[in-house]
Amino acid sequence: MKHKLIAASLALSAVFAAEAEAQVFTPTFLSHVPSNDFGAYVSDWGGGLGVEGIWRRQSRGGSNVGLHAGYVDSGDGSLTVGLDMRNPVVLAGAPIGLAFTVGGQAVVGDATYIGGQVGFTAGQALPVPGMTITPYIHPRLAIANGFVDDDSPGENDFNIDVLADVGLDLDFASGVSLRLGANLGDGANWGLGVAFRR
């Protein structure tokens, strides 16, 4: 019964994500598998390109903390900075891997946006000769605020959205990972990157 509830929640989140507006968030590239790595990522963001560096570190308890920063082409250009955390969730007999996620991101430029998100990422690591393939889905609830100026009524309101990314990690035995992500709602449509595991 637990498996059916989890699957239904994930599917429902993905459906609602089609109406989401994610003007703050770049793709998360966050499967359920904790790792120590650093990498560079490119994404389609608001009609332009975004470039970010992401560093993640695994703690003794299995949790992961990540820091990311970069540049997005939003008109005159903006800087991004963010923090994320994932913690594995162990359910006896679960057919897929799960992790609880929480994070925040800010975009600083002509207009400043700040947001936070909480959700679950679910997927399955599939070992094949020389590599591991991990498809996953990352539904989450997000809240975001745009701080523009006091003369723009309604622009400083918080918006709550349901977001979801689907992703694919290709982890090679050499320690190099290729990461692909696609947004199921509005916002960044796609992202890709390379990470180096330690």
Q: Is the pLDDT of residue 178 over 70?
A: yes
Q: How is domain 2-197 classified at the architecture level of CATH? A: Beta Barrel (2.40)
Q: Is the pLDDT of residue 8 over 50?
A: no
Q: Is the pLDDT of residue 1 over 60?
A: no
pLDDT at 117: 94
Range list of β-strands (E), 124-189: 126-128, 131-147, 158-172, 176-183
DSSP output for 36-78? -EEEEEEEEETTEEEEEEEEEEE-TTS-EEEEEEEEE-STT-E
Q: How far from each other are the two terminal CA atoms of the chain, in whole angstroms?
A: 38
Tens-digit pLDDT profile for residues 51-64:
999 999 998 878 99
SS3 141: strand
Q: Is the pLDDT of residue 171 over 70?
A: yes
Q: Where residue 156 falls among pLDDT bands split at 50, 70, 90? A: low
The whole-model pTM stands at 0.80
Per domain, the residue ranges of the chain are 2-197
Q: Where residue 127 falls among pLDDT bands split at 50, 70, 90? A: very high
Average pLDDT along the chain: 82
Q: Is the pLDDT of residue 22 over 50?
A: no
Across residues 29-53, what is the average pLDDT?
A: 90
Q: How far apart, in whole angstroms, are the C-alpha atoms of residue 51 and residue 76?
A: 15
Q: How far apart, in whole angstroms, are the C-alpha atoms of residue 17 and residue 10?
A: 11
- Residue identified by tokens 């599939």 is 126
Least confident of 64-73, 107-116, 154-163, 186-195: 154-163
SS3 85: strand
Q: Token digits for 146?
A: 């745009």
User: What share of the chain has pLDDT > 70, as a percent?
Assistant: 79
pLDDT at 13: 38
pLDDT at 5: 37
Q: Where residue 155 falls among pLDDT bands split at 50, 70, 90? A: low
SS3 20: coil
Q: Is the pLDDT of residue 10 over 50?
A: no
Q: Token digits for 170?
A: 């290709």
CA distances from 126 to 35, 58, 170, 177 (A): 16, 21, 10, 14
More confident residue, 114 or 146: 114
- Residue identified by tokens 């989450």 is 140
